[in-house]
């Protein structure tokens, strides 16, 4: 997709999904750049979530405040019955094959990865933002994407979901460094606004009952 074909931000545009509407309300977003980044990321993710494919690797181009970015969404079902998800935001065209699934790849500015264990009813993973891109809403948007990802996976693999639902545990690695000291950023704040319980310095937990996953 060429830059001129990438989705453009329109501050008067109505959100196209509950995810978009809710994240803006949760943040109380006023800053147009943060609103732009969050809205476009979630809009792109929402379109990817609604793909009919059960195993996919897709890339979408988008333009945020005049800058070109690429959102890559991967779903990898395993023979064990687990499902692995990875969403990465890249400044440049991402590679066809991700070299490092558990950390940042070259040109990647934000990422989230999740592993669904249906047998144990658990989701585990992490979210992170490159320190040079902190404060722009990317990590926070990825945290909110997890809600959409969970519902998407439930829709695709409904027959594997236990009656107890899921327990989601994520680690927030999107912290910048300030004179050698880490500080809690907007990503952690967003997780707590979404109902995640902070159980460690950068670890959060949230339970989803079956009725919550419809």
Rg of the chain in Å (alpha carbons):
16
13 lies in a domain? no
Is residue 11's pLDDT more than 50?
A: no
Let me know: does 160 contact 210? Beta carbons within 8 Å: no
pLDDT value at position 9? 43
pLDDT in tens, 111-131: 888 998 888 889 998 888 887
132 lies in a domain? yes
49 lies in a domain? yes
CB-CB neighbours of 154 under 10 Å:
20
Backbone φ and ψ of 125, nearest 5°? 175, -160
With bands split at pLDDT 50, 70 and 90, how would you rate the model's confidence at 188? confident
15 lies in a domain? no
Structurally, the chain folds into a number of domains equal to 1
Q: Which domain holds residue 127?
A: 3-8+22-213
139 lies in a domain? yes
Q: Would residue 136 be called left, alpha or beta, if left means φ above 0 and alpha means ψ between -120 and 50 degrees?
A: alpha
pLDDT average, residue stretch 182-190: 62
14 lies in a domain? no
149 lies in a domain? yes
167 lies in a domain? yes
Confidence (pTM): 0.75
pLDDT value at position 205? 92
pLDDT value at position 53? 61
> What's the token pair of residue 10?
């329109």
pLDDT in tens, 70-109: 988 888 877 777 888 888 999 988 877 777 777 788 888 8
pLDDT in tens, 13-35: 544 555 566 666 666 666 666 66
């Amino acid at each position: 997709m060429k830059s001129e074909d990438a989705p453009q931000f329109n501050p008067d545009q109505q959100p196209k999904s509950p995810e978009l509407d809710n994240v803006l309300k949760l943040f109380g977003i006023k800053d147009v750049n943060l609103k732009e980044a969050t809205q476009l990321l979630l809009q792109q993710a929402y379109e990817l979530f609604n793909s009919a494919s059960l195993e996919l690797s897709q890339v979408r181009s988008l333009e945020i405040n005049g800058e070109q970015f690429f959102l890559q969404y991967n779903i990898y079902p395993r023979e064990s019955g687990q499902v692995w998800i990875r969403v990465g935001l890249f400044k440049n065209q991402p590679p066809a094959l991700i070299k490092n699934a558990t950390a940042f790849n070259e040109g990647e500015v934000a990422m989230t990865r999740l592993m669904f264990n249906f047998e144990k009813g658990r989701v585990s993973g992490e979210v992170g933002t490159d320190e040079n891109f902190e404060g722009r809403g990317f990590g926070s948007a990825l945290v909110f994407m997890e809600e959409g990802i969970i519902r998407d996976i439930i829709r695709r693999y409904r027959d594997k979901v236990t009656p107890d639902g899921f327990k989601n545990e994520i680690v927030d690695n999107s912290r910048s460094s300030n004179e050698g000291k880490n500080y809690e950023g907007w990503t952690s704040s967003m997780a707590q606004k979404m109902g995640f319980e902070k159980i460690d310095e950068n670890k959060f937990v949230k339970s989803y009952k079956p009725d919550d996953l419809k």
